[in-house]
A and B are shown apart, each in its own frame.
Chain A
Amino acid sequence: MAGDLALENIEEFLFDEDRVVSYKWLSKTLSMHVNQAKSKLEEFAENWREKPGSKPITLTFFVSGIQETTSGSELTRVAIVKEEDLENVKKNLKKTLCEHIYSIQKSALKDTAVLYQTDFDETKQHLSECNKYSAIKCKSVQTRSSDSLVPVVSSVPNGRASPAEETKEKVGSSKATTVPEKKKGLAAFVKQHKPQDKNETKQTKVSPVNEKKPSSTAKKGSLMHAFQSSKKSSPKSQTVAKEDTESPKAEKEGKKEDHSQEDGKTDEKKVPSPTKEDEAKSKESAVQKMDKKESVEKKKEITSSKKSSKRDMPDSDSESESKAKQHKGTKRRRVIQEESSSEEEESDREMLEEEEEEMEMDDTPIPPTPEIKSKGKQEEESVSPSTQEGNTDEGKKGRKKVWKKKRYVDDDGCMVTHRVFEYESGEGSDDEKETEGSSEKTSPSTKKDQSPKDQSTSASPSTDNNSKKESPPSSGRKQTALTSFFKKR
């Protein structure tokens, strides 16, 4: 029965599917021993040709034999031969060791490439059991135990593949965990502060940082998800707008970065929803308007309140950090682009840095409270090795608010922190950062003193008055001011 079925199958393969049927392909396809497949092919060919009026088929044969070379030495020749050449080839062989049918096909083959491809595709598909139906079994063939395999296999991607892949994986996993938290935080933040923010912008001239996010979110309202994904872009645009008014140098750099990153986002395409771009654009336009207002307000605010200075600080921080990213290396940025938003990356790193920092990050969208800051300092100091990364990451993502926190923390111990610190006081301009950062390794008190001076010198004339007034408040003061601000809300 099985035999007849096989013959029918061969006919189907040949004429219905228009295949080249080789013994090897047949044995794999019909799960039969190779020798069985060979005999089936022979049987089929015989029967088929006996039938009157049957369609023509061509055969190829496998031949092996001893051949005598011109120099007199003997060698074993292994070849595939077309049917019409078979006798001729056998004549040329000193001794024919073996011949059997290799394949059947409808029309004559031009070369062996087709045959090779037929078998290769089949072999490739079932590579793990490529010798299942062969006539030779080897007991000594054993598969490696999973223990010995695992490290080796895993090391392949590590060793050769780009580290980006690993990070991606991590990113993916971390996204799932961290992102929801952020959403919650943001949502809560929006709910709480929406109305207040609006009021603030109009009435109390609250710091731009706080306003911006609420404003964008408020307008989009239900677009929370989109907001989250595009959050990064909107703050950037805001910063650009601000920077325009504040310091031209910062503007340019900031813009460059913003554009590049945004482009990366849109181009590189992990954009979750097609609407994201549109949303982002609308946000940007809205945000820019808002920013202008804010920037004007800012200046006023700066003079009026210490809070404003703190809030401004994050902006400058964002700039500095964005620069820091560039300096530190393109890798991170690339990853970011692939991920489509810096938030994700940040979230990843947060994951790495463990829960403590996550908590902070979650808080970040919401203006931080002084208590948290103090905790953050202690915690981060203990974690110190990871703090640098954390800073840069946070800078990318949360923009202004996040940075505030981390900077404070950093200030206590690390060099990086020092730089950041000074930026706070001297908003926006890059020159200030560098000079201050290099000069200061002294205690926080001295920094504070220096920072205001630097600001005043470097800041653009329009903001000079404001910045001077803003800068004087020390970090401690700022913190308290922030807390008081929240309390007001």
Chain B
Amino acid sequence: MSEMPSKEPITFERPSSLYENLSSRFQLQDRNFQRQYAHLYCERLLTMRKNIVAGAKRKWGSDVIIRKLFELKNNEKCCIVGTFYKHMELKPNILQEISEEHNLIPQPKKDKYVSDSDTLILEDELQRICLVGNINIQKACTGMVAAVLGEEKESGKFHVEDTCFMHLNQPAPFPTLEEDRYIFFISGLGLGQEGKNLMGLQLMVDLITGQLGSQEEQEKYSKVIRVILAGDGLSYDTQDKTVLNTAKYLSRKVQATTVEGVKELDDVLTQLVSNVPVDIMPGEFDPTNGILPQQPLHRCMFPQANIYKTLNCVTNPYDAKVDGFRILGTSGQAITDIYQYTTNENRLEILEETLKTGHIAPTAPDTLACYPFLKEDPFILPEIPHVYFAGNQSKFESKLWEDEAGRKCLLLTIPRFSQTQSGVMLNLRTMEASAVVFSSEFMQ
């Protein structure tokens, strides 16, 4: 059986790659929480308007009338540009909660907050107008900036004929590679959970680091040039809110619940990082700030893995260039949030929607917590990336998005590892992604 030469086993060299981190716009320079969020919407509209107007003219002809809301005339066909606001009856509302406090009617926690009575409103700098007609209200969500073509009727509502979103460029097409190069995506390791069988995770680590498998397998996995850990290294179980409600003198000696999880994560990372570059993005349950953009986990938390330069703590959202491929993604909060506020069931479609509208997290700051930016909205897509992913989704899906202009983008939803035991292996040469599922129990 021993076909392998026992004397000199072959080892494979992991190829190096060009890497550039483009996430600097997600790094918070100052921490000023005094501001209101109006600036963010204003900035978003101002920034995106120019592009959208250009797109509208391209789409509907250069002679299309573009009006501000106060210039609207009844029954005149024109184009208006503004930010969507979706009025939703079921949307959790703190004011409502307070007002109903006396009646003790808790607002139900729902998977989705959509209802048939939802209305879509378009706001520009000064005014708002209700949108009806040819527009899918249920698939739109608050915060998207768009141009709509139509006319205002006597009812005061704007009857939409067509919609146009931002048009983004893609500076460079997919780079062509001679050889296979892989990027391995994982998310939602969910460490720190008691009684969790980590065999699947260990198999993944061993596979990527070249322990498992035949030589052919090892050769393949030696071409994994990067591992991207897209958030939620720690489990939801580590979120112990009771600490917040107990007096400090009672909880002073209580160890934070995340500590064990972080230690486990450190072990896992150390094994990976000593063999392959790893980008670790923070997620919803990770010990960093909870609002977008999440700042990098401090590498001090990983005293063992920190020894290696290949440990790369990055922001969420994360934007980087690997071997010429522009890779952009989030840990999934934005997608999950939109999922709750639209009828769209398919996470990949939601992801695609955000790509089309040119904004990573439109529902921030409405239903998704985000930093009150003043002069910028870093969530506006600067260009069409080559790979656009969202972590912590329910299942793996991929789609090569392509439009008539020749722009291409590979969309990926990365499933939670803790639930699906799977990671995603992306071959940059062929732009094909496939799920790799690890069985933590004996397979039968």
* A binding-site residues for B, Cβ under 8 Å: 3, 23-24, 27, 33-36, 38-40, 42-43, 46, 60, 62-64, 67, 74-82, 85, 88-89, 97-100, 109, 111-113, 115-116, 119-120, 123-124, 127-131, 134-144, 149, 152-153, 155-156, 159-160
User: Beyond A79-B439, A136-B209, A156-B300: 5 further Cβ-contacts under 8 Å?
Assistant: A62-B212, A78-B438, A100-B213, A111-B197, A131-B271
Shortest beta-carbon distance, A148 to chain B, in Å? Answer: 9
Cα distance, A181 to B306, chains bound together (Å): 43
Interface contact B440-A112, CB-CB below 8 Å:
yes
Check B443 against A89 for contact (C-beta < 8 Å).
Answer: yes
CB distance from B204 to the nearest CB of A (A): 8
Taking a contact as CB atoms under 8 Å apart, the answer to whether A43 and B2 are in contact is yes
18 CB-based A-B contacts, threshold 8 Å: A33-B11, A35-B10, A40-B2, A64-B207, A78-B437, A80-B443, A100-B213, A112-B442, A116-B199, A134-B210, A134-B211, A136-B14, A136-B209, A136-B210, A136-B222, A136-B276, A144-B309, A152-B300
Of B210, B273, B299, B444, which contacts A34 at CB under 8 A?
Answer: B210
- Asked if A139 meets B14 with Cβ closer than 8 Å, knowing A75-B422, A98-B213, the reply is yes
Q: Are A85 and B434 in contact (CB under 8 A)?
A: no
Which listed residue, B11, B199, B309, B437, touches A115 by the CB 8 Å rule? B199
Q: Which residue of B lies closest to A110 (CB)?
A: B442
- With contacts A79-B439, A142-B308 taken as known, whether A112 is within 8 angstroms of B199 at the C-beta atoms is yes
Q: What 8 A-B pairs have minimum CB-CB distances, sorted nearest first?
A: A136-B210, A79-B439, A79-B443, A39-B2, A138-B14, A33-B9, A134-B210, A135-B218
CA distance A116 to B204 in the complex (A): 12
Complex: chain A residue closest to B212, CB-CB = A62
B9, B10, B202, B396 pick with most chain A CB within 10 angstroms: B9
Q: Which residues of A contact B90 (CB under 8 A)?
A: none
User: Given A119-B202, A143-B309, A144-B308, A85 and B211 touching (CB < 8 A)?
Assistant: no
- Which of B12, B274, B303, B443 is within 8 Å of A77, CB to CB? B443
Interface residues of B in 182-225 (CB under 8 A from A): 197-199, 202-204, 206-207, 209-218, 221-222
Given A89-B443, A130-B274, A141-B273: A24 and B2 within 8 A (CB)?
no
Contact of A39 with B1 in the complex, beta carbons under 8 Å:
yes
B423 to chain A, nearest CB (A): 9
Shortest CB–CB separation between residue A41 and chain B, in angstroms?
Answer: 10
A64, chain B: closest CB distance, angstroms: 6
Is B130 located at the chain interface by the 8 A CB criterion? no
Contact of A85 with B443 at beta-carbon distance under 8 Å, contacts A39-B4, A39-B6, A124-B267 already known: yes
* Most B C-beta atoms less than 10 A away, residue of A40, A98, A143: A98
State the total of A-B contacts with C-beta under 8 angstroms: 208
Q: Mark B295-312, 1 if CB is under 8 A from A, else 0.
A: 000011001101111100
CB neighbours (8 Å) of A112 from chain B are: 197, 199, 440-442
Report if B410 contacts A (CB, 8 A): no
Asked if A35 meets B271 with Cβ closer than 8 Å, knowing A131-B209, A135-B210, the reply is: no
**Inter-chain contact A97/B217, CB cutoff 8 Å:** yes
Of the candidates B2, B3, B212, B438, the one having the most CB atoms from chain A within 10 angstroms of its own CB is B212
Are B307 and A144 interface neighbours, CB within 8 A?
Answer: yes
B435 within 8 A of A: yes
Whole-angstrom distance between the alpha carbons of A110 and B225 in the complex? 36
- Chain B residues, Cβ within 8 Å of A143: 307-309
- B residues 1-23 in Cβ contact with A at 8 Å: 1-4, 6, 9-14, 16
Q: Are B271 and A36 in contact (CB under 8 A)?
A: no
Could you tell me if B309 and A142 are in contact, using CB atoms closer than 8 angstroms? Answer: yes
Complex: chain B residue closest to A100, CB-CB: B214
**Contact A75–B435 (Cβ < 8 Å):** yes
Write out the residue numbers on chain A whose beta carbons fall within 8 Å of the beta carbon of B343. Answer: none
B209 CB to nearest chain A CB (Å): 5
Whether B362 sits at the interface, judged by CB under 8 Å, is no
Smallest CB gap from A151: residue in B: B300
Looking across the interface, which residue of chain B has its beta carbon closest to that of A3? B6
Q: Chain B residues with Cβ under 8 A from A155's Cβ?
A: 300
Residue of A nearest to B195 (CB): A113
Q: Are A141 and B310 in contact (CB under 8 A)?
A: yes
A141 touches B267 (CB 8 A): no
Cβ–Cβ contact A81 & B442, under 8 A: yes
| CB–CB B16/A137 < 8 A | no
The contact of B277 among A67, A120, A135, A140, by CB within 8 Å, is A140
Docked-complex contact B197 and A78, CB < 8 angstroms:
no
Q: Chain A residue with minimal CB distance to B206? A: A24
Contacts of A82 in B (CB 8 A): 442, 444
CA distance A77 to B211 in the complex (A): 17
A residues in contact with B441, CB < 8 Å: 111-112
Question: How far, in angstroms, from A78 to B422 measured CA to CA in the complex?
Answer: 9
Query: If the complex has contacts A78-B439, A80-B439, are A141 and B274 also in contact, measured as CB distance less than 8 A?
Result: yes
Contact of A98 among B217, B277, B442 (CB under 8 A): B217
Is B425's CB within 8 Å of the partner chain A? yes
On whether the beta carbons of A64 and B217 are closer than 8 Å, the reply is yes
Which A residue sits closest to B274, measured CB to CB? A131
Residues in chain A near residue B197, CB distance under 8 A? 111-113, 116
**How long is the Cα–Cα vector from A149 to B300 in the complex, in angstroms?**
9
List residues of chain B with CB within 8 A of the CB of A139: 13-14, 16
Evaluate contact between A42 and B1: CB separation under 8 angstroms: yes
A130 to chain B, nearest CB (A): 5
Taking a contact as CB atoms under 8 Å apart, the answer to whether A78 and B306 are in contact is no
Give bound CA distance, A135 to B16, whole Å. 16
CB distance from B321 to the nearest CB of A (A): 16
Chain B residue numbers with a CB within 8 Å of A141 are 273-277, 308-310
Q: Which residues of B contact A40 (CB under 8 A)?
A: 2, 6
Given A35-B215, A43-B1, check contact A80 B442 (CB 8 Å): yes
Closest to B443 in A: A79
Q: In the assembly, what is the distance between CA of A386 and CA of B338, in Å? A: 57
Query: Are the C-beta atoms of A130 and B270 separated by less than 8 Å?
Result: yes
Q: Is the CB of B437 within 8 A of A111?
A: no
* B residues 421-436 touching A (CB-CB < 8 Å): 422, 425, 434-436
Are A137 and B14 in touch, CB under 8 angstroms?
A: yes
CA of A141 to CA of B299, assembled, Å = 16
Contact A127 B303 (CB under 8 A): no
Closest Cβ of chain A to B418, distance in Å, is 15
In the complex, what residues of A have CB within 8 A of residue B396's CB?
75
On whether the beta carbons of B308 and A98 are closer than 8 Å, the reply is no
The listed residue (B10, B300, B310, B422) touching A135 by CB distance below 8 A is B10
**Is the pair B14, A149 in contact by a Cβ cutoff of 8 Å?**
no
Report the bound CA distance from A305 to B221 in whole Å.
91
A76 touches B308 (CB 8 A): no
A46 CB contacts on chain B under 8 angstroms? 1
Flag if B198 contacts A116 (CB, 8 Å).
yes
Chain B residues, Cβ within 8 Å of A120: 198, 202
Residues of A contacting B435 with CB < 8 Å? 75-76
| Cross-chain contact A135 with B444 (CB below 8 angstroms) | no
In the complex, what's the smallest C-beta–C-beta distance from B375 to chain A, in angstroms? 31
B199, B303, B396, B436: residue with the most chain A Cβ atoms closer than 10 Å: B199
Q: Determine the chain B residues whose CB is within 8 A of the CB of A134 once the complex forms.
A: 11, 209-211, 275
The complex places the Cα of A382 from the Cα of B143 at a distance, in Å, of: 62
A84 to B299, CA, bound (A): 45
Q: Chain B residues with Cβ under 8 A from A97's Cβ? A: 214, 216-217
Tell me whether A156 and B440 are in contact (CB under 8 A): no
B9 contacts A135, C-beta separation under 8 Å: yes
Complex: A40 Cα to B6 Cα, angstroms: 8
Q: Which residue of B lies closest to A119 (CB)?
A: B202
Q: Give the CA-CA distance A64 to B75 in the complex, in Å.
A: 65
